[in-house]
Amino acid sequence: MTGTANKFPFAVTQDQRIHDDVRRQITWHPDIESKHIVVVVRDAFVFLTGSVLTCLERREAEKAAEASLGVTRVINLLRVDPKCHRSDDEIVSDVRASLLLGTGIWDEELVCEVHNGAVTLRGGVHWGFERQRAEDMTLAILGVTCVNNLIEVHTVSHDKSPVLVYPLCKALRPLQAEFETAC
């Protein structure tokens, strides 16, 4: 056998295996443009450096690294570096359009403030997933450097529940009568 170099494509050390796994996770993730991301692993700590175009890429790269087996901590030092400068008014307009089209939750109760690319979302929604979706969609907008999500989740009070239940009961009443006569 000639050549004593590593004949097997397996990593030599735990850190090398983690590095390879994190690179694969980042490379194959559809929301991440991985060309400018550098991965360094030391004692199972993953350091992400370089630049990405959006906050969503930054967050997804961190999540991809955390998903790799053996990672004990991820230090995310990625810079959000959009290739074009956008005004705060343009970003507000895009956030509003994105939330309206992508979630259907935009109303006058939601407020979007932008200062030098930093977005603050305020207002209220009925469900936690709507709050999270609003943040996710905002993170994906070009020019956003960070998102401060102050949207509150307003639960339906028990006082209002009869208002929602009554129309449902009224609609089901014919079916109930049919069921009772069948038994």
The token pair at 42 is 């030391």
CATH 3.30.9.10 assigned to 14-80:
no
138-167 residues labelled b (16+ CB within 10 A) or e (exposed): bbbbbbbbebebebeeeeeeeeeeeeeeee
pLDDT beyond 70 at 72: yes
d(CA 152, CA 142): 25
DSSP annotation of 36: G
More confident position, 22 or 10 = 22
Mean pLDDT calculated for residue range 40-56:
94
In this structure, which CATH number among 3.40.50.1000, 3.30.1340.30, 3.30.200.20, 3.90.1150.10 belongs to the domain 85-183?
3.30.1340.30
More confident position, 105 or 134 = 134
d(CA 128, CA 182): 42
d(CA 121, CA 153): 13
| Amino acid at residue number 33 | E
pLDDT beyond 50 at 63: yes
Specify the domain boundaries for CATH 3.30.1340.30 within the chain: 14-80, 85-183
Strands of the 118-125 sheet, one edge to the other: 111-115, 118-125, 146-153
The label of the residue with tokens 């609003």 reads 134
The token pair at 151 is 């949207």
pLDDT tens-place string over residues 110-127: 889 999 999 999 998 888
Q: What is the largest CA-CA distance in the chain?
A: 86
More confident position, 94 or 181 = 94
pLDDT tens-place string over residues 153-182: 887 665 554 444 445 555 556 655 555 555
pLDDT beyond 50 at 69: yes
Backbone dihedral angles phi then psi of residue 152, each to the nearest 5 degrees: -100, 145
pLDDT beyond 80 at 45: yes
